[in-house]
Structures are given as structure tokens and as C-alpha cells.
């Protein structure tokens, strides 16, 4: 049975009432976040999240351009 973050912390709120995705703590959950949407929003959280996405991919690209394949794979683990 799935154990959600909100249940673990006894928040007593539905997904619609939460400001985050109520993930299942017992398994992995595929989730897509649109980086374009993050880049267009101007609130502090969205700006910081967008910067993290850009920095992540820039680091991977930098490793690839320097021929550092193993480091690039560490940046993007599977």
C-alpha cells in the first residue's frame, strides 16, 4: 500500500490542498516538470528552480564538451 508524504507527516490534507506533489514514499513516481513553465514564472521558488535546471544541464554539457563522459554520467544518473 502506498504511503504518501502527507500521511507520514500527518498533514491531513488532500493533494489539492498541498503546495507540492504528495509523493509515494514506498516507491518511485515518474514526474515531469516543464522547464519552460518554470522559466516564465517570476516567483522566487520558480526562479530558483529554473536556475537549478539550467545549471544541471549546463554542467552535463560542459563535461561532455571536455570529453569527460564518466563525469557527465554522474551528473545525469539513471
C-alpha grid cell, residue 74:
554522474
Is 74 found in the same domain as 36?
Answer: yes
Is 50 found in the same domain as 21?
Answer: no
- Residue that the C-alpha cell 519552460 belongs to: 36
Give pLDDT tens digits for 37-63: 889 999 999 999 999 989 988 988 898
Are 75 and 60 contacting, i.e. CB atoms less than 8 angstroms apart? yes
Is 37 found in the same domain as 18?
Answer: no
What residues make up the domain containing 54? 32-78
Band (65; pLDDT cuts 50, 70, 90): very high
Rounded to an integer, what distance in angstroms lies between the CA atom of residue 73 and that of residue 19?
32
Are 71 and 63 contacting, i.e. CB atoms less than 8 angstroms apart? yes
Is 78 found in the same domain as 48?
Answer: yes
Rounded to an integer, what distance in angstroms lies between the CA atom of residue 56 and that of residue 52?
6
Give pLDDT tens digits for 6-34: 999 999 999 889 888 888 888 876 777 78
Is 73 found in the same domain as 43?
Answer: yes
Name which of 50, 19, 47, 45 is nearest 34 in CA terms: 50
Structural domain count of the chain? 2
Amino acid at each position: 500500500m502506498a504511503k504518501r508524504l502527507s500521511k507520514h507527516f500527518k498533514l491531513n490534507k488532500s493533494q489539492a490542498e498541498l503546495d507540492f506533489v504528495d509523493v509515494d514514499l514506498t516507491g518511485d513516481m515518474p514526474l515531469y516538470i516543464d522547464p519552460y513553465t518554470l522559466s516564465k514564472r517570476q516567483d522566487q521558488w520558480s526562479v530558483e528552480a529554473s536556475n537549478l535546471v539550467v545549471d544541471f544541464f549546463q554542467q552535463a554539457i560542459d563535461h561532455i564538451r571536455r570529453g569527460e563522459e564518466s563525469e557527465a554520467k554522474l551528473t545525469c544518473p539513471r
